[in-house]
Amino acid sequence: MQLLVANMFRAAAIIFLATSFSFISVGASKSAALFRGVDDDFEIGEAEVLLEEKRGTFVIEVKDYEDGHDSISLNIMIDHLVYELEEVLEDEVVSHDYEGLKSGHAVTIPAGTVLGAKSAKAKFNGGKIKPAEAKDDDGGKKKKKEKSGLFGRNLLDGRTEDEDEKQQRTVDQLHRHLYSTTFGDKKVVAVIVQTNDSIYEGTEDGLREHVFGLTADGSTSDDMFNLSSGYEQCSYGAITFSPLDTQPGIDNGVVTVAVDMDAVESKSMAIRLQAITKLKEMFGDDIIDAADYWMFCIPPNTAGDPSVNKTNWVYQDKTGMMGFSYGSDEGPVMCFNSAKSWQSGWYGENGAHGDKTLETSLSHGCLEISLSGIADYDTTSNLVLVKIVNPANDGKDFFVAFNAKKGINRETQETGDKVTVVQVEEGGGTRYAKSLFLKELGAGGNYTNDVFTVEVESITGSEFANVKIYSGPTCALTTPAPSPAPSPGHWYQLASYDESFGAPRCSSFGSVCDSQGLLNGRGNVSGGNEPNQPNTLNSCTDSSHGTYHYDESVDKIVVSNNIARLMTEGDTVTITATVWCWGPETKVDFYYASDASNPVWVQIGERQQCPGREENTLTAEYTLPEGEIQAVRVNSMFNDQPVIPGKSCTTGGWDETDDLVFSVAAIQPTDPPSPQNPQPTSNPTPAPSNAPSQQPTPSPSNAPSQSPTASPSSSPTSSPSKSPTNQPTTAPSKSPTSPPTVQPTNNPTPAPTSKPTEVPTPLPSKSPTKNPTTEPTAPPSDTPTPMPTNDEDDGNGPQLASYDPSLGAPKCSSFGSSCDSQGLLDGCGTMTNGNEPNQPNTLNSCYDGSGGTYHSDESVDKIVVSQAPGITSDMTEGDTVTITATVWCWSTGAPDYIDFYYASDASNPVWVQIGERQQCPGGGAQTVTAEYTLPEGDIQAVRVNLMYQSSTASTDSCTTGGYDDTDDLVFLVKESQEPLTSAPTSTPTKNPTPMPTNEDDSGPQSAAYDPSLGAPKCSFGSSCDSQGLLDGCGTMTN
């Protein structure tokens, strides 16, 4: 049976995407490198019996035949030589599952195993292969253990500190092959194998065209669709294949070898085994490591490779390569199905045109999206791939894509311009596994299983499809898909590379600085070159040993304030480092420097150990020192390494150091208290006035008016007060004062007045007299003028808010009996399907979380502040008003809490909490209320802060959890016509006026910050409560 050679693109797909550690007879992968424990002089004759256990590798082989079918075999490899397992069951072959091993696993081969050179088979004779355990090498140093890498392949790494350069190169080459198969430029050699009785029917020139699209002299051939061009266009340049052209005797990536065997009597595995041996004889033992991939073109009529019936084909998917095989050389021009496209990584975060994929568990019910085909990946803003995680968490995940029949996918053989649904049998689309084609969907079509439903609402030619994907019975939402992350703003800063520092930098002040992908990778590591390496302030360099996301790398650094404000000197911040770890052997150091332009690094805490393999998150906290432009450093290393003095970094073979620069705000000094003044001021000072003089003054003391009177009045007041009250009232007393005293005091008292009051008058009179009166004031009326009733003032009625950009929140610009935010607060941040208009709608830059989905997770949707029912007058100082908040609470509502606040001055808000924190009364839409008395101030504000789980509010009176929402509403308040205090008499009386009584108590009062006084202040009332305005001390931590 002649092997298929024409469609090299499809053949190579099995190696590069199905498994990076498989062989294909026309597109075989590069063989593995030497392993410790296998003797270099291991000889194989007609049959070799192992006298002791040996190390080897378990390998799955996939063969691609000319008639379109594939066959699979299970094998072991020792020192580049591969033997098929003889004692396996058919279901083990079909399922690719033998003793739980995966292709590429290091194994121990039992003593007594028979290895046949001619049959290329291995027989265990009752023994059993098992996963290999890492051993101590001769130096007593532990080798790294097996570890999962790209596509889930595992390999025993021989990395030790004393390995010589040749051994390390071998290991690194093998890592590069196994774990970076889908990115970078790959060197390839195509080998034509000739036996005694047969030879591959093509020529070296023809093979070179099929694989590379090149002629013998290296110029471009007429073969426009070949292995190299197919992969380059489907990956948008992420992977390229070029011929190995540096080895004499290998002519632009093609070579012919002859083996002393007969094809009709030999298995293809045995032929390839001998071909590898011949290559090593011709070019040396290291030749296999010179290329990334070796393709073996086996002669026709090779024995032992029977065809299978079409109904038993493993692959029948014709939507893309990796499925059905085709005998055409120049097509079909198409790429891969959704599962294999996801596995490639070409359209995700490392893709040439950004991440246009989405992974979802549909935990919030419904997703509405527009899907474009991968042929538009470079131009579309739509998603091209969606992965739906199976809730069973068994790796049997689903993939949805629009199979647009255009461009690089113009010759797809089925489901063109349709939506496809595909499932993988294991691995979640991250490693080799069978993919199962489930359904094609045209416009109006749907597919439902136990996990989700896909509905195709419409399809626009080959351009895009509008799709709904949801769990549950229906998809009720009609809003577009969310952006993948909240938009950065003054609060959340994204770094960019700063050439002057040689590292990423956030140039603006913020509470968070994020390196994004600027640190991803390490040095020149295979498959993961770090942008602008080494990204350090003082020339610490990175190692380039190993392979991206198999060996160590620092991929991301975020520094964030622990409280919701700009990072400020004295604040405690957290460094969060995303690090790819080999395992517990990987260690991490954290540092900070107060001056990024002249860094002196200070280590933060002790050296940390990676908690596990692969991607891990490690954190460290420290207090920001003085300095406007600061930096942090993360240094990862393999095993404990010594730090270079003066540089604060290590230089081991797998070590990396990365820095992040950011801006820090200076501490603002507080204003000193006003000095004591012996003369009265227009506003009372916070402290009592000076003590009285020892001798009586020759004239009465000045009255506390803005312009004191020149002399006391010459006549007595008509009617002194009946009796003093203990507290000043906000309204005149209900009964007139008593008749005047018989004889007024015409002259000042001969002795000092009684002891002064302990504290000054709370407020000066609103309109003090400029000059003293010459006549006594008239007696008060028998009945004081009452406060105007609400019935006499219909007011302007309810008011609707509009967004005020100067305040950054909704505002009712006219007086009214109520103020309604309408729909201006609906949603929360940039949450899924519920972006809040003009977010965050707060006066002092409190930002919203954007976790979750609209009307599944928390949001403050509406705020109304209003007079009591039945009162139509405009809101006025001293009125009691109600805040009504419409909020969406998650689940049963029990985990959600609400805080209410008010501020008397919206332009300089000092927030005062209203009552206690409330718990959501239930799940879904809920109405929660709070009452308070309007303080003085013409432009006031209220705040509603909804949070998931009860957490401590920041100094800005808001919480900053991932599901929290804080919204403000601004409104106008009329000035009260009621005097707050009575004007003082012009002449002091013989005895001081006692404090007024409680006959007309205004009740408990809550303080608001008074900037003119520099302290909290209350209106008249029975008590004054500072609430949270004095909480904390200075700029102490937290």
Counting residues of the chain whose pLDDT is more than 90, the rounded percentage is 30
What local confidence, expressed as pLDDT, does residue 993 receive? 44
Residue 46's pLDDT band (cuts 50, 70, 90): low
**Average of per-residue pLDDT across 653-677:** 75
Model confidence pLDDT, tens digit, residues 992-1004: 444 444 444 567 8
User: 63: which 2 tokens?
Assistant: 């063969």
The upper half-sphere exposure of residue 773, i.e. CA atoms within 13 Å in the direction of its Cβ, equals 15
Integer CA distances (angstroms), 201 to 192, 206, 296, 516, in order: 9, 10, 13, 52
What local confidence, expressed as pLDDT, does residue 79 receive? 67
Q: Cα(229)–Cα(378) distance, rounded to whole angstroms?
A: 17
What local confidence, expressed as pLDDT, does residue 49 receive? 78
What local confidence, expressed as pLDDT, does residue 57 receive? 82
What local confidence, expressed as pLDDT, does residue 755 receive? 44
Decide if pLDDT at 39 tops 80.
Answer: no
What local confidence, expressed as pLDDT, does residue 705 receive? 41
What local confidence, expressed as pLDDT, does residue 636 receive? 95
Contact 101, 107 (CB under 8 A): yes
Residue with tokens 């003044």: 677
Residue 163's pLDDT band (cuts 50, 70, 90): very low
User: 831: which 2 tokens?
Assistant: 């949450």
What are 526's strand-pairing partners?
547
What are 577's strand-pairing partners?
557, 618
Residue type, 993: T
Decide if pLDDT at 290 tops 90.
Answer: no
* 526: nearest Cα among 541, 502, 543, 503: 543
What local confidence, expressed as pLDDT, does residue 572 receive? 95
Give the list of residues 6+ apart from residue 668 with CB closer than 8 angstroms, or none. Answer: none
What local confidence, expressed as pLDDT, does residue 990 receive? 40
What local confidence, expressed as pLDDT, does residue 363 receive? 63
Model confidence pLDDT, tens digit, residues 427-470: 888 776 788 889 999 999 999 998 899 999 999 999 999 999 99
**Average of per-residue pLDDT across 739-765:** 42
**Average of per-residue pLDDT across 844-853:** 82
Out of 185-189, 912-916, 1022-1026, the most confident range is 912-916
What local confidence, expressed as pLDDT, does residue 90 receive? 63
* 134: nearest Cα among 151, 102, 158, 110: 158
**Average of per-residue pLDDT across 709-716:** 41
What are 240's strand-pairing partners?
185
Burial classification of residue 286, based on how many CB atoms lie within 10 Å of its CB (0-12 exposed, 13-18 middle, 19 or more buried): middle
What local confidence, expressed as pLDDT, does residue 898 receive? 96
Contact 371, 464 (CB under 8 A): yes
| Between residues 307 and 799, the one the model is more confident about | 799
Decide if pLDDT at 968 tops 90.
Answer: yes
Decide if pLDDT at 171 tops 70.
Answer: no
Decide if pLDDT at 361 tops 60.
Answer: yes
What local confidence, expressed as pLDDT, does residue 19 receive? 28
The DSSP result for 123-166, as a single string, is E-TT---EEPPP-B-TTSPBPPPPEE-TBT-EE-----TT--HH
* 588: nearest Cα among 605, 609, 566, 568: 609
What local confidence, expressed as pLDDT, does residue 491 receive? 65
Out of 265-279, 282-296, 403-417, 790-804, the most confident range is 403-417
Q: What spatial distance separates the first Cα and last Cα of the chain, rounded to whole Å?
A: 76
**Average of per-residue pLDDT across 799-807:** 92
What local confidence, expressed as pLDDT, does residue 394 receive? 85
Say whether the peptide bond before residue 332 is cis (omega within 30 degrees of 0): yes
What local confidence, expressed as pLDDT, does residue 198 receive? 86
CB-based contacts of 420-426 (< 8 A; 24+ apart in sequence)? 420/319, 420/337, 420/338, 421/447, 421/454, 422/317, 422/337, 422/338, 422/339, 422/398, 423/339, 423/396, 423/397, 423/398, 423/399, 424/339, 424/395, 424/396, 424/397, 424/399, 425/396, 426/394, 426/395, 426/396
Pairing status of strand 614-623 against strand 572-581: antiparallel
How is residue 576 annotated by DSSP? E
Residue 906's pLDDT band (cuts 50, 70, 90): very high
User: 533: which 2 tokens?
Assistant: 């390496």
Decide if pLDDT at 598 tops 90.
Answer: yes
Q: Cα(440)–Cα(446) distance, rounded to whole angstroms?
A: 9
Residue 1018's pLDDT band (cuts 50, 70, 90): confident
Decide if pLDDT at 40 tops 80.
Answer: no
Model confidence pLDDT, tens digit, residues 106-148: 788 888 788 876 667 888 777 778 777 543 333 333 333 333 3
| Between residues 511 and 82, the one the model is more confident about | 511
Model confidence pLDDT, tens digit, residues 185-205: 889 999 999 999 888 778 889
What local confidence, expressed as pLDDT, does residue 10 receive? 37
Give Dmax (Cα) for the chain: 144
Cα angle vertex 112, ends 106, 115, to 5°? Answer: 70
Q: Cα(325)–Cα(4) distance, rounded to whole angstroms?
A: 9
Among 135-149, 564-578, 891-905, the minimum mean pLDDT is found in 135-149
The DSSP result for 678-691, as a single string, is SS--SS--SSPPPP
What local confidence, expressed as pLDDT, does residue 161 receive? 36
The DSSP result for 823-891, as a single string, is TTT-S-TT-BT-PPTTTT--TT-PPPP--SBTTTS-EEEEEEEEPPTT--SPPBTT-EEEEEEEEEE-T
Contact 30, 293 (CB under 8 A): yes
What local confidence, expressed as pLDDT, does residue 660 receive? 97
What integer best gives the mean pLDDT of the chain? 74
Counting residues of the chain whose pLDDT is more than 70, the rounded percentage is 68
Among 81-90, 129-138, 162-171, 800-809, the minimum mean pLDDT is found in 162-171
Model confidence pLDDT, tens digit, residues 321-345: 755 555 566 778 889 888 889 988 8
Segments of 949-1022 assigned E as strands: 965-972, 1004-1006, 1008-1010, 1015-1017
Assign 408 to helix, strand or coil: helix
Contact 948, 895 (CB under 8 A): yes
Model confidence pLDDT, tens digit, residues 606-615: 999 999 888 8
Among 51-60, 672-681, 843-852, the minimum mean pLDDT is found in 672-681
Model confidence pLDDT, tens digit, residues 217-234: 888 888 778 888 888 999
Cα angle vertex 230, ends 227, 233, to 5°? Answer: 145
Q: Cα(919)–Cα(898) distance, rounded to whole angstroms?
A: 6
